[in-house]
Amino acid sequence: MDETAAPRIVTGTVSQGRVRSGEEALAKSVGELLSKDGFTVVRHVVVRGEAEFLTALVQNVSNENVADAIILFGGTGFGPKDAVCESLEPFFEKKIEGFGEAYRRFLRTDFGHESMLARATAGVFNQCVVFALSGRHEDVKTAVDVLIRPVLRSAVDLATGRATSMRR
């Protein structure tokens, strides 16, 4: 990617089966939000919520230089079929430590103390920044707008080595 180009993003719905139209609408609205801010949404994918599929997606996108960032929604809970955090965190070369805490703090307004039950993760693999959020539509749209969008360019610049420290 040239240094002036907008970061390229792949969005993904983590699914255990068939994707519903509401999930497609969520992907479209997140894509529109990011595009309005000048980011290039390369495509939206649906990925099964199992470790081998999740890590293959991240490897393929990063190794083939398809995108600079991946934003996943769904599969971060702690139910029996939720495996996103456990699959991706050991895979990351660097973890973005504060992201999960920021996500829970963001949810606290709506959910109070139950927000501590929400999980999210973020990290870097092969210079590709990866964010994983819960699948609740309003939370995802607002979290992308409030938590991810403002730091995305800086995160990509840091991950790729184009920046050596955070912008002020």
Q: What is the pLDDT of residues 81-111, one digit of tens each?
A: 899 999 999 999 999 999 999 998 888 887 7
Which CATH number belongs to the domain containing residue 152 in this structure?
3.40.980.10
User: What share of the chain in percent tops pLDDT 90?
Assistant: 65
Nearest to 9 by CA among 50, 44, 42, 33: 42
One-letter-per-residue 3-state SS of 85-129: HHHHCCCCCEECCCHHHHHHHHHHHHHHHHHHHCCCEEEEECCEE
103, 120 contact by CB (below 8 A):
yes
Residue 45 placed within a domain: yes
Residue 126 placed within a domain: yes
Q: Is the pLDDT of residue 21 over 90?
A: no
Residue 166 placed within a domain: no
Instruction: For residue 20, name the pLDDT band (cuts at 50, 70, 90).
Output: low
**pTM, to two decimals:** 0.92
Instruction: For residue 3, name the pLDDT band (cuts at 50, 70, 90).
Output: low
Q: What are phi and psi of 153, to 5 degrees?
A: -60, -45
pLDDT mean over 58-71? 97
Q: What is the pLDDT of residues 140-155, one digit of tens each?
A: 999 999 999 999 999 9
Indicate the number of domains in the chain.
Answer: 1
Residue 165 placed within a domain: no
Residue 119 placed within a domain: yes
Q: What is the pLDDT of residues 109-139, one digit of tens each?
A: 877 777 787 899 999 999 999 999 998 888 8
* Least confident window among 68-72, 74-78, 156-160: 74-78
pLDDT mean over 49-58? 96
Residue 82 placed within a domain: yes
The better pLDDT of the pair 34, 28 is held by 34
As a dihedral over the C-alpha atoms of residue 105, residue 107, residue 111, residue 117, rounded to 10 degrees, the angle is: -70
pLDDT attached to residue 38:
92
Residue 148 lies in domain:
8-160
The mean pLDDT value of the chain amounts to: 89
